[in-house]
Structure 1
């Protein structure tokens, strides 16, 4: 990654390169015979032919520009990707492209030109040079260029050196070659639980947050701690449960990766009920994201279904406060799982707010209403649902509003009584009852898309 200008340009001789002032000291082998000659400082190079050859990976041209006994220990000027506000005079600010410094080795490594990387290393490029805070190894790992990573490590690059943000190369592994890059770093001595300086994240935290199942599996097999905590008390399992869907991602694929990660971490011994500094647990986060399958997985591990975070929210509250994107995850499954594991029902006075927020998910409304013996909605509740939603789910909402302040069916009342009787052991007792499958599903709040 290029860095700000600040490192001094260096003296020497190369086509298109500018020596610094004052000039470097000249080493006199007679004056200090017991010491190594001082290493010449890198040159600030503005040769556009050289830069074009680096960016395009033109090895033939670079062999001409870097003949034997020349040096590739150079600095290149580049511009920041985006303009930044800067002040050249007091009170006068302007948007300018800030000049930055990088090296030929950084350019080649970030673009995957492995043969160029090897040439530059042979021409005395420093593998751990970091004029902008990142080394060429950081750049190669961030782009997933395995061959470049291997060449740099063989040349002596430090596999655990932090960048300007305190992240190690293992934190940055991305792209097609993620696994291969991580395996190389570990083989050359990178710490599997090395922490970033500010966030105190381990590489396993990063893999879990990004939904990278294969990388997490590799790190766990190499001894990564599944319960390591970062600066905010998050474990990798918390990070996995908080993976967000975006409009640009496939919600089903994201949910499937998160489920795989959670299973992997739990099988490695991760605490399913570990809370962060705000007392949020994996169950809270999975509910907030609407990941019903993960909710069921965590509940099967015996987590505390009614535990509260510092804000006083239970997992059920989180499930009903999720973002609109959680609708793609069918939140009704998470809500039903919580209620079947003894979650305390929400205050009836909050039901109109839930109806207004989740009216496009009638099954979420259904499963909530089927835990009450009386439909506790105001008569004007029908006005909370937009007309187009009423029309789309006409059968369900007709049955819902017909029951406002009306008695429920005897069958439903019997269900409520039996569930209340088994409340303390509901998730374990219901499956053991000698009941027909259809009746058992009814007691477990199976969806019917209508209310009685």
Structure 2
């Protein structure tokens, strides 16, 4: 190392120690003697970065008086202002912006701007400072994330409601989508179960029926995020239910049939969340909504082997004869109705539910005398007891009362439980005609 380089490094070290000790006298002497205030330290940090990192306001002022670059970048392209956002240093941030208002628009290597750092630090004061100095509220990083999306995508941010209100009041577009997932701020707030934030976004006109890249809506994203893990609890907690109610009341389409991922009843059935299936039915969802390949929520519930969801759908007059295309294996699909699928899966409790709800089990081609074993589903091979039971159901006529009840259900259509209670019949007859009694 040359003598000049060694001297320069020693002076740079003296500058660093002067800032670290907040020794403005020493710092002034060094700068007066011509010390290089643009020297880059570890991580390509300038001396001004270090002032912001260590909360040295007076030293920062002194450096700027001597011409320090306010928009200097470290190895991640972060500016001193961004350091202030992360450390929540309002005084230094205000000083930086008063000297160079354009610093408010700087972005790091990932496109994240000062406004992103301000909201992620949970500081309404810093956000207000940036807004006063003309920050672009919808400035995006390279992934298309705005500050509003950032607030909604991180459940642990302090003052998230106040930050959202400030951004929206400043003109942030509530329905913008990011580039990677095509999600809106409402999508992120919903899947993170942030009821207060969801309320603010809906009040600002957020659309509850947008699709992300997986064709999920805010409502189905919430269900997916909460219950997608196989061992996840199927209990519906307070925050989840609050967001579900908000989205439903805001006009979320409960009968969306664009894809299975877009339908809340279908997703709730797929993840075996009976409470949500019943809630959506009570809110007017159609249990017979079908998707491009004919799949219905009932077929999805049968595939999930969930008798509770099957029962809930049948109690709302879900049709048992609609055929759809489902996966037998990861690469094999076949057309099947709910009863055929239940038999294939060996779900005999669901078979009984479907039969009680009116399915004509004699339609199954293998429930006849003389059928060869090669024609039987795997679930019935060697299972003589179940086979005998199914043959008995197929060959035994239903009672006249059962047939009459099923006919009344079809006439009354959806929500027939309430409609039965309104019929001018004795209470005992109403009880025997109720879905709880007939289906179980």
Q: TM-score range by the shorter chain?
A: 0.5 to 0.7
- Structure 1 residues 66, 248: CA separation in 2 closer, same or farther (over 3 Å shift)? farther
Higher relative contact order (CA 8 A, sep 6+): 1
2:406 is matched with: 420
Partner of 1:19: none
Q: 1:121: which partner in 2?
A: 97
Q: In structure 2, what is the equivalent of residue 103 of structure 1?
A: 79
User: C-alpha offsets along residues 28-61 of structure 1, whole Å, 9 cap, x if unaligned?
Assistant: xxxxxxxxxxxxxx9684357978986995324x
Question: Which stretches in structure 2 are left out of the alignment for 5+ residues?
Answer: 1-10, 14-36, 321-336, 368-375
With structure 2 as the length reference, what TM-score do the two structures score?
A: 0.65
Residues 439 and 383 (structure 1), Cα distance of their counterparts in 2 relative to 1, 3 Å cut: farther
Whether contact under 8 Å (1:211, 1:243) holds in the other structure is no
Native 8 Å contact 1:229 1:235 kept in 2: yes
Larger Rg over CA atoms: 2
Distance 1:286 1:379, change over 3 A: closer
Higher helix share: 2
Two-structure CA RMSD over aligned residues (Å):
4.6
SS at match of 2:300: helix
Say yes or no: does 1:335 pair with 2:310. Answer: yes
Contact 2:49 2:83 in 1 (8 A): no
TM-score by length of 1: 0.64
Structure 1 residues 199 and 374, CA, compared in 2 at 3 Å: closer, same or farther?
closer
What is residue 46 of structure 1 aligned with on the other side?
41
Q: Go from structure 1 to structure 2 and tell me whether the alpha carbon gap of 1:59 and 1:342 turns closer, same or farther (over 3 Å shift).
A: same
Deviation at 1:185, TM superposition (A): 0.7
| Paired residues of 1:141 and 1:181 also in contact (CA < 8 A) | yes
1:7-406 map, 5 Å? 45-47=40-42, 58-60=54-56, 63-67=58-62, 68-69=64-65, 70-77=68-75, 100-122=76-98, 124=100, 126-132=103-109, 133-173=111-151, 174=154, 175-197=157-179, 199-228=181-210, 235-245=217-227, 251=233, 256-276=238-258, 280-322=262-304, 331-345=306-320, 346-355=337-346, 367-368=353-354, 370-371=356-357, 403=389, 405-406=391-392
- Once the two structures are TM-superposed, the CA of residue 75 in structure 1 deviates from its matched residue by 0.8
Partners of 1:349 and 1:251 in 2: how far apart?
29
Cα deviations across residues 345-386 of structure 1 (Å, max 9, x unaligned)?
244332234336xx9xx6x6764464368799989859999x
Q: Secondary structure of the residue that 1:102 maps to in structure 2?
A: coil
Question: Aligned pair in 2 of structure 1 residues 280, 198: CA closer, same or farther (>3 Å)?
Answer: same
Cα distance change on mapping 1:230 and 1:47 into 2, 3 Å: closer
The separation in 2 between residues aligned to 1:276 and 1:55, in whole angstroms, is: 55
8 Å contact 1:57–1:113 — kept in the other structure?
A: no
- Segments of 5+ residues of structure 1 without an aligned counterpart are 1-13, 17-41, 78-99, 386-398
1:401 Cα deviation after fit:
9.2
Structure 1 distance, partners of 2:422, 2:295, is 31
Output the CA distance in 2 between the equivalents of 1:280 and 1:229: 8
In 1, are the aligned partners of 2:259 and 2:291 still within 8 Å (CA)? Answer: no
Change (3 A) 1:52 1:252: farther
Instruction: Decide whether the 8 Å contact of 1:57 with 1:116 is kept in 2.
Output: no
Change (3 A) 1:65 1:255: same
